[in-house]
Structure 1
């Protein structure tokens, strides 16, 4: 014969389990909408910055016949510029997410400073794209790179990965 606990007793029995779950030191998935920092960087931030950095560039290449071909690239259409604006806005959103408790937890006091710097430079990146100014896009792209590099010097991707025991998998 199966005996069931009264509803009230069942709730009381579950209380310690729920309390234990609430005290877990691991951030919940809602706190890390893009997965770990490494996953966010590899799957979201890097591809988005690549869009911005690749929009205005100069390439020089040596052809098999020994000639040098030089090409300048920049957005040509409104759709090209809109893609660039969207990339800058996405970077702003990622920067705000990096400032959240879930991503900042366990990191130094400078973590939000770096994340805020990314947000601020991304606003400049957006404005340069809205102005459809290739020179400004190129210049601010360099600043985005410098902000990212400064953060990576303090928080090397390999150290972050080792600290969390997580690889760049999705």
Structure 2
């Protein structure tokens, strides 16, 4: 048997590097396309939902003279309707992303149910926009809101932020 003293020394030198690599891989978060859940919600989902929700709305304002001004808003052009449909498609893609292992890991089965619910309602939201049906956009927008609110009751944004901070400090 031939002995290689250099190999023994190399193994000893590699041990701390392997230990360091093992520790750092445990601290690395899963591949999250949009950052933490909190970041994804704040930077992507909320602004996109706001586009959808803002497309069809009714505003009532009290004027300085005491009169009330009422105004209805809805898309008028094909381009405006396309923006609404695109917002719905983006919500659907976020819903699919929320179902990936990186975002779902460590959360209950209900997480997947909520994400699937957002996926389903986003398809309806897109169809309402493609149909250029302001009443349907408004109604489906309420359902989108309800799905989001139900998820936030189970996974409060503050707890998601804390969990993300805990994961990053591990």
Q: What is the TM-score of this pair, normalised by structure 1?
A: 0.84
Q: Distance in 1 between matches of 2:77 and 2:66?
A: 33
Q: Distance in 2 between matches of 1:76 and 1:45?
A: 24
Q: Figure out how many residues of one structure are paired with residues of the other and give that number.
A: 157
CA shift in 2, pair 1:25/1:112, >3 Å: farther
- 1:1-170 matched pairs, under 5 angstroms: 13=14, 16=18, 20=22, 23-28=25-30, 31-165=31-165
Q: Distance in 2 between matches of 1:106 and 1:26?
A: 15
Q: What is the TM-score of this pair, normalised by structure 2?
A: 0.84
* Superposed CA offset, 1:122-164 (max 9, x none): 0000000000000000000000000000000000001111222
After the TM superposition, which of the residue ranges 18-27 and 150-159 deviates more from structure 2? Answer: 18-27
Q: Distance in 1 between matches of 2:24 and 2:112?
A: 25
Q: Distance in 2 between matches of 1:19 and 1:26?
A: 11
Instruction: Report the RMSD for the aligned CA atoms in angstroms.
Output: 2.2
In the alignment, what sits opposite 2:3? none
* Superposed CA offset, 1:55-98 (max 9, x none): 00000000001111000000000000000010000000000110
Q: Distance in 1 between matches of 2:20 and 2:163?
A: 28
Please identify the structure whose Cα radius of gyration is greater: 2
Give ranges in structure 1 of 5+ residues lacking alignment: none
Give ranges in structure 2 of 5+ residues lacking alignment: 1-5
